[in-house]
A and B are shown apart, each in its own frame.
Chain A
Amino acid sequence: MIWKEKYKLGVPLIDKQHEELFRRVNDFVETVRKPVPWIEKSKTINETMDFMKDYVVSHFHDEEMYQKEIGYPARKEHRKIHNDMVSYVVNIARQYEEDPGNEQLIQQFGGKLLAWLINHVASEDQKIADFVRSKEAAKHE
């Protein structure tokens, strides 16, 4: 999972958090896919599940604060996407706590997380940057 310059929104705090998310999810995917016994992966998986539960919530909060600050018109819809993802992560983390040997659950989580994060940063979050650019352009007209 490669972080690309084109994903940058031009907001240093958010860009830094996105880059960190990419790095952590990449490490997670590499661990999940490693051809070693499941028990050897559990430490990294436990750490990632804890990280995701906290970091996703605080990143989404920062992003929503920024959207409010700039008057982003689609923030209600964007917030729903965030809330749905938080619910999903919390639900997976709960299932994993109850059944730490459930490799299928974590493989499915990894696959969805990979695709979801790329789309969210490359597409949904870019709408925020588009809005800022159109606001700036309107100012100079």
Chain B
Amino acid sequence: MNDAFYQSFLEATRNVFHLMLDLDQLTEKHVQPDTAESSAETICIAIGVTGSLQGKITYIFPNDTTLKMVKIMSGGMEFSAVDDFVTSAIGEIANIISGKALIELSERKIACDILPPEVLPNGVPKGTGHCKEQNRVALHTDIGDIELDIQLEAQK
């Protein structure tokens, strides 16, 4: 994985959590793709990337963390299930993070576009390894751990 791609997505995630959720403590920990396993209690949102980079970013949010994120955004409303409203709000968060990361990359002459968020009903396949530049990272936050599965390949 090119470190520039990776850092752009991490920084964008930190930025969005800070601005939208008032969460400032995001601690990074690497995850081995071959051993990573998403539990059933997660929502996985994939954002396709086209242009100078090709591939996709998958955001893996535990259900409990997802509900807390939407609760913060709504100003304290209680959400008991990951339903259409919650999924749409979290899909938009994934979209916003990806958009910010790509703006940052475009300043370094890496021009890409993103595709609309897609919910992966079966989660992320573990240890796919089909992409040359692959990485997966977990971020610990005060409301739970989230993961980013970054599978991007630079086009020649």
Contacts and interface: CB of A to CB of B under 8 A. Distances in A.
B89 interface: yes
Contacts, number: 69
Summarize A's interface: helix, strand, loop or mixed: helix
B93 interface: yes
Interface residues of B, number: 24
Given A119-B16, A123-B19, A111 B92 contact: yes
Contacts of A123: 15-16, 19-20, 96, 100
B85 A115 contact: no
State which size class the interface on A falls in.
20 to 34
A2 interface: yes
Given A26-B75, A29-B74, A115-B92, 11 more contacts: A1-B74, A109-B88, A111-B70, A111-B84, A114-B70, A114-B92, A115-B20, A119-B20, A119-B92, A123-B16, A123-B20
Interface of B: 15-16, 19-20, 70, 73-77, 79, 83-93, 96, 100
